[in-house]
Structure 1
Amino acid sequence: MMLDLLGGFGEKGRTSLAVSSGNDRILLDVGIKVGALGAEYYPALNGSIADIDALFVSHAHEDHVGALSWLLSRGYAGPIFMTAETRNEAPATLAGYADPEDFRQFPFPEDRIELFEPGDTLESGNFSIRTGRSGHVVGGVWFAVDDGESRVAYSADVVPDSNVFVMDTIPHCDLLVLDASYGADPVPGAARAQAISDWIAKHPQGCLLPTPLSGRSLELIAALPGPFAIHAGMRSSLEAQIGATAALLPGVSEFLRRRLQEAADWTDADPLPSMPLLADDGMGEAGPSSRLLPRASETGLPVLLTGHLPSGSPGDLLHKAGRADWVRMPTHPTLSGNIDIWERAGRPVALGHSCAVELLGGLKIHIPSLRTQYRTGQRITVPEARRR
């Protein structure tokens, strides 16, 4: 089995991985890299598109599906596998992050989507592709690809210790591609959630919480200490996510439903509320938060950023200017979570995706089989990775 590292290795963004065995070749995710320009915005897919038999998408965040229109513009004509939740959310992601001309000519291909449920085992050629709930977003999955001789498990984005979502155990494998977004960050999610709750309590006059529409929004709602408002355009999506009870921990759906029912709806025409306001997206690149961040800066409304901030993004610039605070709400594995994933998978050879180079070394101290030398654009075989 051979892997082409097409994006997200030694960098954060444009997550994409091709897996080949014999004449079979599949693509796992096809993301974009926020803040990059030109070719670096897209996966490093420089070879033939025609030899890709199928595309499997883990979830609808921009760094995993944002290059779909670009892939279609380059001639990809095969099937596209994703869950129903990913299908429902992907068009909005493409509208915000795809090249406008690509998106106009190659909008979301509804008729080519092949749906599956988390937990299903899929087939493509000689590949068997097992799936499981990721703990990251409703409908999000990991993939474990088996060609009869070797198994590669690709975590995509996972959260093993979420306060909201369920993550299924990744099986034993020969090579594990870990979500290394946080490197060796040891602070657990519960401690970060408490820090966010404490920060909000110190700003009773109101504040802005930019957040991705899916995933982190529910984590934040669970952590909010009192009344809050949401941008009105988020409500239907949040209701659908909360209604997907199979993706949520026991009892969480009813708790979040009550919290959302109590939340105030806010629109762009309204005055800023005197309570926490959730608005998508988390970086200020698109959606209501792209309009609200400048407004907050002008009016002095406190801003709390809680996720990844690509260099040069509106959220990053506001934070660097001292006009926004930042407390990470973990929506990726912290150190203990990745160690547990690796141990449960049989302590295999591992790669880390979505992680800056300087953070991988710290993670390797705790996961000795982690191979830190691989970068986007490289090709490796599973036996080669095992030997090194």
Structure 2
Amino acid sequence: MRKKTQLIHGGIFGDDHTGAVSVPIFQVSTYKQDGPGNHRGYEYSRTGNPTRHALEVLIAELESGQRGFAFASGMAATTAVFMLFNQGDHVLVTDDVYGGSFRVITKVLSRFGITATFIDTSNLAEIEKNIQPNTKAIFLESPTNPLLKITDIAEITKIAKKNNLLTIVDNTFATPYWQNPLTLGADIVVHSATKYLGGHSDVVAGLAVVNSEELGEKLHFIQNATGGVLGPQDSWLLLRGIKTLGIRMEEHEYNAHKIAEFLVQHDQVSKVYYPGLVNHPNHEIAKKQARGFGGMISFDVGSGEKAAKVLTSVKYFTLAESLGAVESLISIPALMTHASIPAERRAELGITDGLIRISVGLEDAEDLIEDLTQALNA
């Protein structure tokens, strides 16, 4: 089954009882049992809900995994995955990771004795050099947020397997339509499903997929025990959004390519970060491991003052956090999505005050380019 067909016909299709072509919203907390402990597959909706189950089956199929799990947010999914580790364990993490992931790792999980070293995972030598005796996993983004670095996932997994480590990939930017890390050797994939998978700025959700029944049992135990599950209405919204993921991602990418080429030529822009550009670092690796380059672009205008002027001058780009929706969004990572990362660390990474991140939407590309032109010239 090809991807666009799988998005619509994968998982659980409709409802056998009524013939409905859409999975129903099972707005229920508990389920009648035929006898004490004798239930029909569901007993309590924290443990399992039919609408959420349909979503979990679908995302597992889309990522070519064994089991999927739906959480109340992307951060809930990431946190649950990190709960697989114990006090004293160590994890290697992509250096320009999403600010929320940086925050939970350094400010919350660190209190429970889980430590992390932040490295450039696109540099394989850095991986080998930073593995410690207590290292248990490599957590990476590819492309990263916001500098869109590309890591060779297949090569990372070889290093991980050689050292008995798990490979965990945040696949939010690429989505399962463009990239499937589990087929490249990764063990766990996480998504902020709030973004492209939902696609309409109307749901907050997180997903995780594992490549083995053993990991599935462990993660389900954590999900059930800690309770950060996705509700049935939000699960249904995600099921609906995923059906159009393919056509949306193709249009996002079409627009992003045109805008990236425009930004490269503009004299007010000093640097453009987009994996689809042939001069982007590891562009060839991106071509090899993914079927597309996505709809995220970052570019530097040289100063925080100029960046703020651009953000207040645009008309079709909405000044807001988040990404992956039908409408184009614009932000300054240093002040918004990555504000939780210390300023000196941002400077080391290249997340400057003049760095602007755009999530390219589904508007007409020419309108978006004209909007950016007048904002940059302001």
The TM-score, its normalising length taken from structure 2, stands at 0.34
Give the helix-richer structure, 1 or 2. 2
The TM-score, its normalising length taken from structure 1, stands at 0.33
Give the strand-richer structure, 1 or 2. 1
